[in-house]
Structure 1
């Protein structure tokens, strides 16, 4: 018998002064049995960075045809395809062909090794952006994971802060690849 996803709930308050986006989102997060708290919280972080009314979580790990999160327009065209972790280059090239923009958030100790191994095969992907969250930072985010979360994300002048209660983490993103 297959294990079922664990459901997490998050009340996410976003104050993105860089984009002028201020909103509350009630998120239902299905955490796949093979997914860690760390990966799940990187998905929440990515959601906060790209938040909009139409942004939603995809099936990600559970379905190879869907991303971890995506933004579709009203015609169902994919504007943003978001991946978390260290996806294969073929998956990313396929996503680049299907979406206007593709963004990856990597977070493991070995992220730089993963990127060095595939970056030359992704040079032609002009609509791909790859960001890295330091491993120590992602582990701090993982400590915030609870079945019911109250989270605040503040973005100003390129700095990102995520907080839950008295805990707060500053997130500095390293750019491995930018659009263009």
Structure 2
């Protein structure tokens, strides 16, 4: 029998001043045995920075066709396709065609991630956002995460301020376009 997923529980006070989003959240995230804590952290950061009604974690880790995070409207129509890590260009192309907006949040070097997409077909590449953080930020958040995590997460003027289980961290949000 294979190793099962590790379940992480998050209790988050979210204050995204830049978008006017304020909420107290409680959610669970499954960490697949092959998934690094940095990748899980990137999925959680994407979820928090994109938070809106209809957001959910996708089934991308078990080989599904869903992205890491997605947003559906009340009719069930896909509104946002949000990937984490360093997805292939064809996956971004498919996501950009399937949803109104598409973004990639990465814990890797954004120049290398974007470089892998160079010369490849990505639908509306000029509208696909590639989001990254200051060096070491994702790893520092990952180091502070436990099976049960309490977090305050604020965004002001393009800077993330996070307190994760008592550890205070911050990072600028870096954004560029895929094309």
Q: TM-score, normalised by structure 1?
A: 0.91
Unaligned runs of 5+ in 1: none
**Residue 124 of structure 1, CA deviation:** 4.1
Correspondence for 2:22: 22
Cα offsets for 1:17-65 (capped at 9, x unmatched): 1111110111110111111111111111111111123211111221330
Correspondence for 1:47: 47
Correspondence for 1:77: 77
Query: Is the counterpart of residue 115 in structure 1 residue 123 in structure 2?
Result: no
Correspondence for 2:156: 156
Correspondence for 1:177: 177
- Equivalent position SS for 1:64: coil
Of 47-56 and 82-91, the range deviating more from structure 2: 47-56
Cα offsets for 1:55-98 (capped at 9, x unmatched): 11111221330111110001111111111000000011011110
Runs of 4+ in 1 over 6 A off after TM superposition: none
Correspondence for 1:147: 147
Cα offsets for 1:88-147 (capped at 9, x unmatched): 000110111101111101112x44223112133237424411112244111111112100
Q: Pairwise CA RMSD of aligned residues?
A: 1.8
Unaligned runs of 5+ in 2: none
- Equivalent position SS for 2:136: helix
- Equivalent position SS for 1:79: strand
* Aligned positions, number: 178
Q: TM-score, normalised by structure 2?
A: 0.91
Q: Distance in 1 between matches of 2:67 and 2:105?
A: 12
- Equivalent position SS for 1:66: coil
